[in-house]
Amino acid sequence: MKHTVTVGREKRGLGRREAAALVKRAACRALDAEGVGERCMINVLFSDDEGVRRVNREFRGVDSATDVLSFPFNELTPGAFSPEGCERDPESGAVLLGDMMISLERCEAQGEEFGHGFEREIQYLTVHSVLHLLGYDHLDEGEMKRQMRAREKEIMGDRDT
């Protein structure tokens, strides 16, 4: 695998042993689809709603749980990855893209709610977060949000995201 996706768990008992492999595959698929040829590193932390809420409150000032949080290390242009000026791992030279935190509890609930299951939901959340690490955003209802949603659909290979 060209990219390094490190996955950890904030605490024991979160379940879903297959989650790490699913996240690694989805992250690499998203990076490849975005044409990222440079070796990159992403850190992923699995938690529950309580853990994500705490981090969301601490870093974003939002006192609520969410499904995934993304913490990009670089300011990148969506759809035009350029490694120049990016943070790099001093040992390997790989581009440090950033961190993500996924609530496995929320992922499980949303997979059920949306009728497509945990496996698809965690892959979708990973693709969504990788796009954030690559500069995409969806805070407004404009073109940037449409561009991000279109990329998610294309990377996921379906029309139902």
- Which residues are 96's β-sheet partners? 41
**Mean pLDDT, the chain cut into blocks of 10 residues (161 residues total):** 91 90 97 95 98 96 96 94 94 97 96 95 97 87 83 83 42
Please report the pLDDT score of residue 146 as a whole number: 87
| pLDDT score for 143 | 81
Residue 161 confidence (pLDDT) = 42
Cβ neighbours around 124 below 10 Å, total: 25
Looking at CATH, the fold of the domain delimited by 4-156 is given as Collagenase (Catalytic Domain) (3.40.390)
Buried b (16+ CB within 10 A) or exposed e, 65-87: bbbbbbbbbbebebeebebeebe
Tell me the one-letter amino acid at 151: R
pLDDT at site 140: 66
Amino acid 1: pLDDT: 58
